Structure 1
Amino acid sequence: MTAPAGRLVLAGASGFIGGHVARFAAAQGWTVRTIGRAPGADARWDDPAGLRAVLEASDAVLNLAGRSVSCRYTKRTADEIFSSRTETTAALGHAIAACDAPPPVWLNSSTGTIYRDARDRPQTEAAGQLGSGFSVAVARAWERELFDAAVDVRRIALRTSIVLGPDGGALAPIVNLARMGFGGREGDGAQVFSWIHVDDFTRAVLHLIADDRVSGAVNVATEHPVSNAELMAQVRRAFGTPLGRGGGVPLPAWALRAGARIIRTEAELVLKSRWVEPEVLAASGFAWRFPRLPAALDDLAARTRRGLLPVQLG
């Protein structure tokens, strides 16, 4: 299902995923207006009147704003991760409530990390079990701001799995490991890796805008997750190892934890088993262009530069 092109208000357009969404939606005929702190944004978070103006009579709003979680969780970075998600969501709620003609649908980022570490069964929207810890607390607060907002519009929390795109984002550090010869399993390799191609993420957003039957939490992932060991094997196959040879050196959990400290990130991003099943998305009739990992990685490899890729460090 595809929504007729209209005006999409996008928060977080300067991020890796947001940039892809903005370009893809524009290519489909959408007029994209942006909210953010980057130069050229159509509205800024510290301007309530500007927020209302850009949202007025728009056809949809998509909020992808939030500080990267690829960092060490210090007091400062934890506060930034939390506030960059909850405060922007709250600001959108106030601005939408002030509109005379609010957007009929509001899609807001959340995360598949909201579920527990799952190796026994997939986590669906209806039967999934929420986890514990900092990342889960952030996700729950994020969704609470969305669903507690005093607005009469359809709302969707995008519980997104790992988004794979070319030339950066979450895939970049994995590709770098493979290209340096360290592309073996991480930890025991049995943790489940739920994922979605960035093009399918954007297509899913436009599909959900069009389908007014869908509201609430929606898991955004393919129906075919893989183990970490299979992920690393497929990355080695698709991207090759120009700087290293062999089957890929495995990285035990202790090495990942030590390495995470050096590059200022958290080992949880790799070691947690995220088994997210897109039950609602599948039931709505969404058709994935890249349902399985090998084809997705082949497409991304063809669009990714050679050598080591830039990685955002926290």
Structure 2
Amino acid sequence: MNILITGGTGFVGTNLSKALVEKGHLVYIITRTPDRHPNTDKITFINYDDDTANLPVIHAVINLAGESLFGYWTKKKKEAILSSRIEATESVMEFIKKLEKKPTVFISGSAIGYYGTSQDLIFTEDTTQPGDDFLASVTKKWEQTAKQAEELDIRTVYTRFGVILGDEGALPYMSLPVKMFAGGKIGNGEQWISWVHIDDVVNMILFCLFNEHIKGPVNVTSPNPKRNKDFTKILATVLKRPYWFPAPSPIIRTVIGEMSHLITKGQYVLPKKTQDQNYQFKYPYLEEALREIYH
């Protein structure tokens, strides 16, 4: 297959591109700076403005572009978080509209932030009511923009990513206090972390790509979320560090501002749709996932 990816040079995009190439597919990564990236025999970097007539038939499009959530959430940062996702999705939709033959599937990145936060509720893809915080607002608008693909009669999937664990992304931030011998629960430690190993992220995207029965929102999370206090304790065990310094929520909010929302609050999210389709997790349990990452 010929597969077009936005955000192909990011954490998820790099791992996904590698997996697609290993399976014999050709990858076209669309970027505003293609000259910065050398092509290979399997991966070609193109510009949004390139003539689509020069491309082969594109069978699938995967949209992963967007500003990182990490950093102090100033007004400017929050605007960039929203606008980068909307503008990238609009741009790739315009690109798709120019293709003479439309792709059969469009997979657009999203996030479990759609559901808002709760210590008590369990969220699945059957949950249709979005939350009322900033991230919920962003993901709702993000998915609404991507919905244009449905109007083109393209099978459309919204991959709602949980906390992705790997050598990039959230885990280096989460593990730093533990590595510095200052690991402990955040706040009361009761908030849920709906995590997922990067290998399962890639495999679940591929599962959605090739399973024509899957459409709409798909939760890309492990089937076994952990409370913050348990997550950190397991992380400390894997890293062979002590677990003893709780970090009060007010201090976290003072240090990193509104981004603390990602740490001090959470949600219990289950991947019901892929489980119903018999997806087999490579790393369903946290300890084995962390041990693989840290060898």
TM-score (norm 1): 0.86
**SS, match of residue 61 in structure 2:** strand
Mapped to 1, the partners of 2:83 and 2:130 lie a distance apart of 21
Contact 2:116 / 2:135 at 8 angstroms: preserved in 1?
Answer: no
Structure-1 residue corresponding to 2:249: 253
The residue number in structure 2 matching 1:14 is 9
Cα 1:199–1:286 change in 2 (3 A) is same
d(CA) in 2 for partners of 1:214, 1:206: 11
Number of positions where the alignment pairs a residue of Structure 1 with one of Structure 2:
286
In 1, are the aligned partners of 2:63 and 2:109 still within 8 Å (CA)? yes
- Bigger mean CA offset, 177-186 vs 54-63: 54-63
Contact 1:61 1:105 in 2 (8 A): yes
Matching residue's letter, 2:191: Q
2:41 corresponds to: none
CA offset digits 1:240-283 (Å, max 9, x no partner) = 33xxxx3231111011112214xxx7101101212111111111
Q: What secondary structure does 2:190 align onto?
A: coil
Q: Does 1:203 align with 2:198?
A: no
Cα distance in 1 between the residues matched to 2:243 and 2:134: 35
Q: Which structure ranks higher in relative contact order (CA pairs < 8 Å, sequence separation ≥ 6)?
A: 1
Shift of 1:290: 0.3
| Equivalent of 1:296 in 271, 289, 294 | 289
Name the residue aligned to 1:42.
Answer: 45
Inter-partner Cα distance in structure 2 for 1:32 and 1:233: 40
5+ unaligned residues in a row in structure 2: which ranges?
38-43
Say yes or no: does 1:184 pair with 2:184: yes
- Stretches of 4+ moved more than 3 A in 1? 52-56
Tell me how far 1:7 sits from its aligned partner. Answer: 1.9
Contact 1:56 1:100 survives alignment (8 Å): no
For the pair 1:218 / 2:213, whether they are aligned, the reply is no
Let me know the Cα RMSD of the aligned residues.
Answer: 1.7
Please name the residue that 1:309 is paired with.
none
SS in 1 for 2:282: coil
**Match for residue 286 of structure 1 among 279, 286, 295:** 279
Could you say what secondary structure the match of 2:108 adopts? strand
1:179 and 1:135 map into 2 onto residues whose CA distance is 29
Q: Work out the CA distance in 1 between the residues paired with 2:54 and 2:218.
A: 26
Query: Within the alignment, does 1:231 sit opposite 2:231 as a pair?
Result: yes
The 8 Å contact of residues 178 and 248 in structure 1, kept in 2 or not, is answered as no
Would you say the 8 A contact 1:193–1:226 is kept in 2?
A: yes
* Corresponding residue for residue 127 of structure 1: 127
1:211 CA displacement: 0.6
Task: Quote the Cα distance in structure 1 between the aligned partners of 2:30 and 2:102.
Answer: 16
SS at match of 1:109: strand
Q: C-alpha displacement at 1:56, in angstroms?
A: 5.3
Cα distance in 2 between the residues matched to 1:132 and 1:121? 15
Q: Which residue in the other structure is 1:310 paired with?
A: none
**Shift of the alpha carbon at 1:54?**
7.5
After superposition, the C-alpha distances for 1:64-89 in whole angstroms (9 at most, x for unaligned) are 10000112222221221111101111
Distance 2:32 2:266 in 1: 34
- Classify 1:11/1:54 alpha carbon distance in 2 versus 1 (closer, same or farther; 3 Å): farther
SS in 1 for 2:123: coil
Code of the aligned partner of 1:287: Q
CA distance 1:173–1:55, shift in 2 (3 Å): farther
What one-letter code is carried by the residue in structure 1 that aligns with 2:161?
Answer: T
Structure 2 CA distance for aligned equivalents of residues 235 and 137 of structure 1: 31
Contact 1:174/1:235 (<8 A) preserved? no
Structure 2 distance, partners of 1:129, 1:251, is 32
Which amino acid in the other structure matches residue 249 of structure 2? A
- Taking structure 2 as the reference length, the TM-score comes to 0.92
Other-structure match for 2:268? 275
CA–CA separation in structure 1 for the residues paired with 2:192 and 2:26: 37
**Deviation per residue, 1:105-145 (Å, 9 max, x gap):** 01000100110212212101113541112211111110000
Give the partner amino acid of 1:42: F
Moved more, 96-105 or 152-161: 96-105
